[in-house]
Amino acid sequence: MRRRDTICWIATAIGVGIAPAGARAQRASPVCFSGVARPACSGFILLEASAATTSGSKHTIVTMVSTSTGPVPYQHHLEDLPRYFSGGAGYVHMVGPVWALGIAGELGNANPDAGTANRMAVTARARRWTGNVALDLGAGPLAAEIFTLVANSGIDDRILARGATIEAAVSYKSLVGVVIGADAIRGGNRRSSAIRVGIRTGSYGTLATAAIAAVAGAFVWAGLSGGLDER
C-alpha cells in the first residue's frame, strides 16, 4: 500500500510539473506574424503591400502660356487620387478569441500624368477571423501630394492635401486578398475623392512579393546594362 501511494504521488508531481511547461510552450510566441487567431498569439504584426486602381475626381485647369505670338491657353488635366502601389506595417492586439484591434501606417507612391506623388495614411484597424478568412476594417487620416498650377507656367511644386480614408479587406490567412476603400482630400483650393479596389498581400505573402519584385528588377537592370554595354 505504501509503495502504491508513493508511485501515485510521483505520478501526480510529474503531471503537475508537465502542465505548466506545456502552457509555457503554448505561450512561447505571444506576437505572431501570420496565420489565423489562436491561443498562442496575443497579437499580430502587420506587414502589407497593396496595388490599387482608383476612380474619382478629375480636374481641368486652364493656364495661359506665353509664346512668341502671345498668350496661348493650355489645359491641364489633374487626378489627385490616382492608382498607386503602397507598403504598410502595424500591429493588432487580440481582444477576444477572433477579434483584434490596432493601428497601421501606409506609404504609397502614385505616378499620375503630372509626375510622381506620394500618399501617407494612418488607420485604426479591426480584424476578425472566420476560420481561415480574415476581415480587416480600417479608417484614419490621409495625406496625399497633389500638383498645383500657376499662371504663365506649367506645373508648380507639389503640395500636401489632407483628408481621410476608409477601407475593408478580406484575405486568406492574412497572406493575400482584396481591398476596397474610399478616399477624400482637400488642398490646392479644390476637393477630391475616389473609390479604390486592389490586391493586398500580408506577412509571408508580402515577403514573397518583395523577393519576386527584387529578382525581376535585377533582371531588368541586367538587361538594360547589357544593352548599354553593347553600344
Residue 90: per-residue pLDDT: 98
Identify the DSSP state of 154: S
Joined grid coordinates for residue 216? 525581376
Residue 188: per-residue pLDDT: 85
In sequence order, the β-bridge partners of residue 140 are: 165
> According to the CATH classification, is domain 43-230 in 2.40.160.20?
yes
Joined grid coordinates for residue 40? 498562442
Joined grid coordinates for residue 105? 501606417
pLDDT-flagged residues of the chain (< 70): 1-29, 114, 150-156, 226-231
Report d(CA 109, CA 85) in Å as an integer.
5
Identify the DSSP state of 150: -
**Cα of 12 vs its chain's centroid, Å:** 51
Residue 114: per-residue pLDDT: 66
Report d(CA 196, CA 201) in Å as an integer.
16
Show contacts of 105-113: CB within 8 Å, 24+ apart. 106/48, 106/50, 108/50, 108/84, 109/84, 109/85, 110/82, 110/83, 110/84, 110/85, 111/82, 112/78, 112/79, 112/82, 112/147, 113/77, 113/78, 113/79
Report d(CA 224, CA 217) in Å as an integer.
11
Report d(CA 128, CA 170) in Å as an integer.
10
Report d(CA 152, CA 139) in Å as an integer.
40
Report d(CA 151, CA 147) in Å as an integer.
14
Report d(CA 48, CA 92) in Å as an integer.
13
Report d(CA 167, CA 179) in Å as an integer.
7
Burial class (CB in 10 A: 0-12, 13-18, 19+), 140: middle
